[in-house]
Amino acid sequence: MSEAILANANLVLPDRMLRGAVTLRDGRIADIAEGSAAPAGTVDCGGDLVMPGLIELHTDNLERHIQPRPKVDWPHANAIVAHDAELASVGITTVFDALRVGSIPGGQRHEKAYARDLATELVQMRDAHGLRISHFLHLRAEICSETLVDELASFSAGDRVGLVSLMDHTPGQRQFRDLSKLKTYAMSKNGMTEDQFTEHVAQLRSVRERFGATHEDVAVAEARRLGAILASHDDTTPEQADQSAERGVRLAEFPTTREAAEALRTHGIAVMMGAPNLVRGGSHSGNVAASELAADGLLDIVSSDYVPAALLMAAVMLGDLWDDLPRGIATVTRAPADAANLPDRGRIEAGARADLIRVSRWAGTPMVRETWVRGRRVA
């Protein structure tokens, strides 16, 4: 029997704060007690916050590790280990690793399929207990692609695919309704010339026209086959929100307008926004600010997107905005757990997984001091 007691902590419970201690036993939360004592043999948290481990539903961080620079491919196993350790260090204890499925091998993008090979290595390392935190797969189904059908077919239930999101990056709609924003992004990131960008846009629109409708239907069906939650991405209009509801979407990633967020909510679809949007004070693409949706009660879940350390920072900012820290922390713990159908984590209560983090604040900035996964200290 393994046991640890985190004592003299400010516990972030689902609906309140409590100065007390939490007992971790055999990978589960065994007991919660009130009081500031820290007897010998316990971990004296010194009044630090102790909260559930963070749950990340959409992060591109693994892709950043396998390609740290344009055209630089890094060894997958090394990249997975570094990614896993980074997430543990910032308090993330469950992650849905986002992998692009659907490629365009020719033209300006020169994409190649990578998700199946990367997922195989990740699954092998996970099954060998070589990773610190809990990993699921999030397949980002690129509707505007040429290879989506075959790539999705290569995954099975054993891969533990938890999410499939419908990603349509066709120029002129959704995230990049404003082509000038896409032009700036593509030319700065990929070094395109004006002519290359024009060719790029024409190619994507042609691909969407040829494959789009089929790919949408296949992605929905494959999510069902894999037992995964279906997510939409960058809903912009109420009509797109209606279409998401018709497809069985349960989670909306990064709606770009207030109108879309309101429509999604009427369908009972959880709204997720990016932590960098909150931390920076707005969207880098000129879309709706996450803080605006939060102020009006239209934000349910936060994702770190492309900055893992932003997840905790954004949750604390929301706690300050709402004057309710448990509510802010719930956007990165209980709410994503519920959306992903993981009822065993995301909350401090008896019987839940002992995935916990200890956090202090320095000049308002939250700092992760310790991370436990299933009762074992991993960072």
Least confident of 13-27, 53-67, 184-198, 322-336: 184-198
Q: What is the pLDDT of residues 147-160, one digit of tens each?
A: 999 999 999 989 99
What pLDDT band is residue 354 in, cutting at 50, 70 and 90?
A: very high
Check residue 69 and give its pLDDT.
86
Question: Which of 97-106, 178-187, 309-318, 359-368 is predicted least confidently?
Answer: 178-187
54-344 has which CATH code? 3.20.20.140
Smallest CA-to-CA distance from 157 within 214, 119, 112 is with 119
Residue 42, helix vs strand vs coil: coil
pLDDT > 90? residue 47: yes
Cα-to-chain-centroid distance, residue 329: 15
- Report CA 367 to chain centroid distance, whole Å: 20
Average pLDDT over residues 8-17: 97
Q: Average of pLDDT values for 253-257? A: 96
241, 235 Cβ separation under 8 angstroms: yes
Residue 167: name the closest of 197, 198, 204, 203 by CA.
204
- Residue among 375, 370, 369, 334 at smallest CA distance from 353: 375
Is-same-fold flag (1-52+347-379; 54-344)? no
For residue 314, what pLDDT is reported? 98
The reported pLDDT for the residue numbered 103 is 84
Question: Which residue, among 262, 170, 128, 154, has the nearest Cα to 218 in the 3D structure?
Answer: 154
What is the tens place of the pLDDT at every residue in 107-149?
555 578 899 999 999 999 999 999 999 999 999 999 888 899 9
The tokens 């924003």 sit on which residue?
181
Which helix (DSSP H) or strand (DSSP E) does residue 105 occupy? none
Task: Check pLDDT > 70 for residue 35.
Answer: yes
Cα–Cα distance between 375 and 25 in angstroms, integer? 7
The pair of three-digit structure tokens given for residue 260, joined into one six-digit string: 């879309």
Q: Is the pLDDT assigned to residue 184 strictly greater than 90?
A: no
Q: Across the strands, what pairs with 233? A: 253
Could you report the per-residue pLDDT of 65-100, keeping only the tens digit for each? 999 987 889 999 999 999 999 999 999 999 999 999
pLDDT reported for residue 193: 72
Which pLDDT belongs to residue 191? 64
**Which of 3.40.50.300, 3.90.470.20, 3.40.50.720, 2.30.40.10 would CATH assign to domain 1-52+347-379?**
2.30.40.10
Q: Which residue has the higher pLDDT, 1 or 266?
A: 266
CA distance 269 to 209: 28
- pLDDT, residue 207, reads 79
Average pLDDT over residues 25-42: 97
> Do the Cβ atoms of 139 and 161 come closer than 8 Å?
yes
Confidence at residue 42, expressed as pLDDT on a 0 to 100 scale: 97
- The CA R_g of the chain, rounded to the nearest whole Å, is 21
Q: Among the listed ranges 7-16, 126-135, 176-185, which one has the minimum average pLDDT value?
A: 176-185
Q: What's the predicted TM-score (pTM) here?
A: 0.91
> For 174, which DSSP code?
G
Does residue 171 have a pLDDT over 80? no
252 and 231 Cβ atoms separated by less than 8 Å = yes
- Over the chain, what is the mean pLDDT? 92
For the chain, which residues make up each domain, given as ranges?
A: 1-52+347-379, 54-344
Beta strand segments in 208-355, E: 229-233, 251-253, 270-274, 301-303
CA 302/CA 322 separation, integer angstroms? 15
Q: With a cut of 60, say whether residue 39 has pLDDT above it.
A: yes
pLDDT for position 231: 98
pLDDT tens sequence across 273-296: 999 999 999 887 778 999 999 999
**Helix, strand and coil in the chain, % to nearest 5:** 40, 25, 35
Is the CB of residue 245 less than 8 Å from the CB of residue 267? yes
CB 359 within 8 A of CB 379: no
